[in-house]
Every structure is written in structure tokens, then in C-alpha cells.
A and B are shown apart, each in its own frame.
Chain A
Amino acid sequence: MSVDAETVRKIARLARIGIDDAQVAPLAGELSTILGWIEQLGEVDTTGVAPMTAVIPNHLAWRTDAVTDGDIQAKVLANAPDATSGFFAVPKVIE
């Protein structure tokens, strides 16, 4: 699998990672090498094999649908880059 420049830009956009033009070609080369290497998995016959969902058989436990904590607004916001009036603040998202 050869990853082209357009694909690199598309993946970066999906991953929300800003890249500049100088990074595109090296990334295309690295991703092509890695993806080319992992493509060998295609040669394994997995007919009838179930994909692994839990590495150690373990049933997910249910818990009561109840509030388990709360009243910790200051803690929740303690590491926010921008907290205004008790909320996380972000750049304007509506016109």
C-alpha cells in the first residue's frame, strides 16, 4: 500500500492534527513503509475466526445507573486552559 500526499492530508484532517507541507512527503514515506509491512496479515486465513473482543474472558459488570459523584466543579475545571463562569470556554462555534 502506497500512501500518497492526498491521503496523508486526509488522514491528518480526520485525526485533527495540523501538518505543514514539508511534513507530507516524509509522512507518506513512513506510513507507506509501515502499512506495507502490516499488509502481510492479509495472507493469514481467518475464515471462521471470530475477531477478539476481550483478551481475558470477562463479562462487563453492570452498575446501578446512579450518580456516583458530583459537586466537584472546581476539580473538573482545575486544569482547563480556559474556564469562564464555571464552564469550559472554546472559540466561538456559531455565527
Chain B
Amino acid sequence: MTALTDLTIAGMKAGLAARDFSAAELTAAHLAAMAGARDLNAFIVETPEIAAAQAAAADAALARGEARPLAGIPLGIKDLFCTEGVQTTAGSKILQGFVPQYESTVSGKLLADGAVMLGKLNMDEFAMGSSNETSAYGKVISPWKARNSNRELVPGGSSGGSAAAVAARIAAGATGTDTGGSIRQPASFVGIAGIKPTYGRCSRWGVVAFASSLDQAGPMARTVEDCALLLTSMCGYDPKDSTSLNVAVPDFTAGLTGDLRGKRIGVPREYRLDGIDATIAALWDQGLEWLKAAGATIVDVSLPHTRYALPVYYIIAPAEASSNLARYDGVRYGLRVTPPGGNLADMYSATRAAGFGAEVQRRIMIGTYVLSAGFYDAYYTQAQKVRTLIAQDFEKAWDVCDLLLTPTAPSAAFAFGDKADPLAMYLNDVFTVPASLAGLPAMSVPAGLSADGLPLGLQIIGRPLDEAGVLDAGLAIERAAAFTARPA
């Protein structure tokens, strides 16, 4: 018999409905997996008592025939989502011990649909990072190893704990958040699926803010269908988030066919970077062949401002972060450090120096600089204008195609410390950032292995609100790739 932790969410739903196993058994299997994989450091807080109680409630609902769509499904929640009564730190020392008195809208919707929370997942501090090395609670270690190597690999970031937990079969699925690729890049690194929906699809209320015009929650799971199931529960209008879109949420699982007849897939020529890894280039071509076999036609498109996306991102995201993180001043919550005899300003400076890690401090300072008098127009306003041009590039592309296919990341997972230079790390987001700047739905699907036997993902980008189209193309790739490799 397949281990309970190996089932997909869809498989778990079927098994629970057929009474093949109970939610309590399913949760116990995952809690055991969590306890057995602590060396990955995927969780900052484990919540076994909460999980057991929620599983019992799910079993009662199943017995009454009143089970909600996710009844009994064990999930991990990224530590960026405020969870009522459970410590939420955003991976930062400055929020150590912070216990929200409220539940984020997205985690609340998952729990209302019957999900079981296993714990809070580790992440890069305030979601700033592409490797999970910036967490104040220690790095998360990928369950994968390269062939013939014992080096520990990064799980990607910032949703690295989410990625590692799902890949290691600790959680059936997890929440992630994506600001410049923080769902898609870690999903690619560990061989799972993840989708960032259209900006505004998921409420940001109760999600610790990094860059408000970019941040978007989304699911991470081992199959496209599982992502669709979770996304259906996570999306929806929320009057508490003024950027929340007041549009109907379809059942994203209903339209999944993998049939792409009539669909036009665009290949952005500017993504063919000089010196792109040959294996990734070949996988990209293979992906296009798979989509063709599913009925799609392939068209060449141009996104001429692509090369400016990263510098735009590294102005806008730090600028918004410097503003959002101004609230961590030691007054209302979190760490407070008061130097002896110090005044209020001394308290602010000492608290923020002690509470924020190096990467967060660096980004706050960049943000402060580009917003400061004399530099605002040259940096921030210019970045906002180029952001408009990047969004317009995509709008023009939609005249000739329905979806775009690209690699998710320029490389497979790397080892800890291999990208010590901040700029080298930033370049890892080269394929994911443009869609973030344009607010578009985009997902990563595992599609193959690198020469060293590490997972590689392909990215599908869609029109605003066309998550269904993105998921359907994802399903076509998933079926054709038949990705069955898993961490040892």
C-alpha cells in the first residue's frame, strides 16, 4: 500500500471520502514525517495539537456527510501568514514571540474549508531571498542532493520551508507567497508545482507585507490538480484588502483537461539568455514540443523590456519594503531594544539594528535611498514608468498568444554559500520577476532533471485572471513530463 504521505491531495480526498483511512490517521502520518525530517529545518513552529484537533473535527464532519472541500488535508502554512494564537515571525528575529490575535484571510479560508495545519513553515526573512539562507531561524535544507554529491542544497526562496516540506512528503501542500518568484523558483528547485495567481486574486490581509504592489499568496503542492484545489479555496474578494479583486472565483479543478487545442503558446525571445544552461534550454524546447502535442501552436513573441525587469524590481520592492517595515519599531509588537539612557529614536535604531538581518537591512537601506529627496524621480518614478512598459510588453504579447512558456529559473538548486554576492543572488529571479511586475498569473511545473539529477521547472505565464489557462497548460506539461523523480 502506498504510504499516506505519498498520496496527492486529490488522492487523500478520495481516500477520506471512501473511509479508507481517517483524517486522524492521515494527520498522524504527516506529524510522524515532520518529526522524522527535523534536520531539514522546514518548520519554525510545529502545531501537532492543533493539527490533531482539526483532524478530529474533519473526521466528525466526514461522518456527518458535511465535509468541506479540504476536510482533513494536512497543510503547512508559510510563516508570513498571521495565524491566530500561533507565533508568526516572517522568519525574522524582530517578530520572535509575536502571537497574532487574528487569522490571515487566506489561512482562514483554508482552515474554514477543513484543512489541517501542521505548523508554520520557515522562510527567508520577510520573504527577502532566493535561497532560504536569510531566515533568523536557520536555513532550510532541500531534501534533494545532486548525483554523487553530499553537499547540502538550498530549497529556493523565499518559500523554501514550504517547498522542502511538500517535496519531502511532510505536508500534502503548503501556502507560499510570491513577490518576485518566491513560489515558482523554490517549486522548481525541489520538483513540485506552485502557482502565483493574478495580483489581487488572494487577499493580502493578515499576510506580513514585503512589497505590497507585488506580494501575492498561492499554493504549492506536488501536482497541478492539487494546486488547483488549494487555489480555489485561497482566492476570493476580501473587503479588508483594498487591492483585492471583486471577481468570481471559478472551481479551478473543473476546467482541467490538458487539452490545448486552439491555444497559442508564446516563446519570449528575450528570455533566450546568452550562456543559458544547455540542459535548461533543451528542456524548454522539449516543453514546447509537449504543448504542441497537446494541440497548441507555438509563436515567437518579443518582450523588449525584459532586461530591465530585475533592476525595476530591485527599486520597487525595496522601496515598498522600506515603507512597510517602518512599523517594526519596538513599540506595538516584536523585539524592543532600549540602550541605557536612550531616547525614543535610540530605541528605534537599536531595535531595528538588532531585529533585522543583513539582507533586510540592506534592502531597507536601498529603499530608503531610492525614495529619498533628490533621488526619488531618478530611481523610483523612472522604475514605475519602466514597469508600465514591461506590463505593456505583455499586453502586446497577448494579441498574438494566450500563454507564455519559459524556464522557471536559470539553474537547478545550488549549494549553500554559492551565491554570496547579493547581486548574483538577485539574478536568480530573472525569469520570474517580469510576470510579477505585471501582476500576471504564473506557475512552475516540474519538467525534468539537470545533468546532476536535480529538478528543473518550466514556467507558464497567463493573462490576468486566466489561472485556469495556466493550470491547464501546466497539466499538459505534467502529463507529458511524467516527472516521478523524488528526493532520496
Contacts and interface: CB of A to CB of B under 8 A. Distances in A.
Given A16-B349, A49-B389, A44 B101 contact: no
Interface string B286-313: 0000000000000000000100100110
Contact of A11 (B242, B311, B368, B439): B368
B245 A91 contact: no
Given A31-B369, A79-B332, A91-B338, A38 B422 contact: no
Interface in A60-91: 60-61, 63, 72, 75-76, 78-82, 88, 90-91
Interface residues of B, number: 71
Contact of A18 (B101, B245, B352): B352
Given A27-B362, A55-B439, A17 B423 contact: no
Given A49-B389, A52-B388, A78 B101 contact: yes
Given A38-B315, A75-B101, A81 B349 contact: no
B372 interface: yes
B369 to A, nearest CB: 5
Contact of B308 (A41, A58, A60, A92): A41
Contact of A41 (B198, B312, B362): B312
A25 interface: no
A15 interface: yes
B199 A56 contact: yes
A17 B365 contact: yes
State which size class the interface on A falls in. 35 or more
A79 to B, nearest CB: 4
Interface string A18-39: 1100000001001101110111
A35 B245 contact: no
A58 B437 CA distance: 16
Contacts of B365: 8, 11-12, 15, 17, 27, 31
Interface in B73-103: 97-99, 101-102
B312 to A, nearest CB: 7
B369 A35 contact: yes
Nearest to B326: A16
A61 B242 contact: yes
B379 interface: yes
B interface majority secondary structure: helix
B438 to A, nearest CB: 7
A82 B348 contact: no
Contact of B345 (A12, A16, A37, A44): A16
Given A38-B314, A61-B239, A91 B344 contact: yes
Contacts of A40: 308, 311
A38 B99 contact: no
A81 B336 CA distance: 6
Interface string B372-397: 10000011011111111101000000
Interface string B161-179: 0000000000000000000
Contact of A56 (B311, B331, B385, B439): B439
A46 B439 contact: no
Contacts of A31: 362, 365-366, 369
B464 interface: yes
Contacts of B423: 33-34, 37
B150 to A, nearest CB: 32
B356 interface: yes
A58 B199 CA distance: 11
A38 B311 contact: yes
A34 B314 contact: yes
Nearest to B333: A79
Contact of A16 (B329, B382, B387, B389): B329
A34 B102 CA distance: 38
B362 A30 contact: yes
B257 interface: no
A46 B369 CA distance: 22
B99 A41 contact: no
B349 A44 contact: no
A14 B308 contact: no
Interface of A: 3, 7-8, 11-19, 27, 30-31, 33-35, 37-42, 44, 46, 49-56, 58, 60-61, 63, 72, 75-76, 78-82, 88, 90-93
Given A18-B349, A56-B200, 15 more contacts: A11-B369, A18-B346, A34-B362, A41-B386, A51-B384, A52-B391, A55-B438, A56-B199, A56-B243, A56-B439, A61-B239, A80-B332, A91-B343, A91-B346, A93-B343
The 6 A-B pairs with the shortest beta carbon distances in the complex, nearest first, are A51-B384, A55-B439, A81-B336, A18-B349, A79-B333, A18-B353
5 contacts: A17-B352, A40-B311, A46-B386, A88-B331, A91-B338
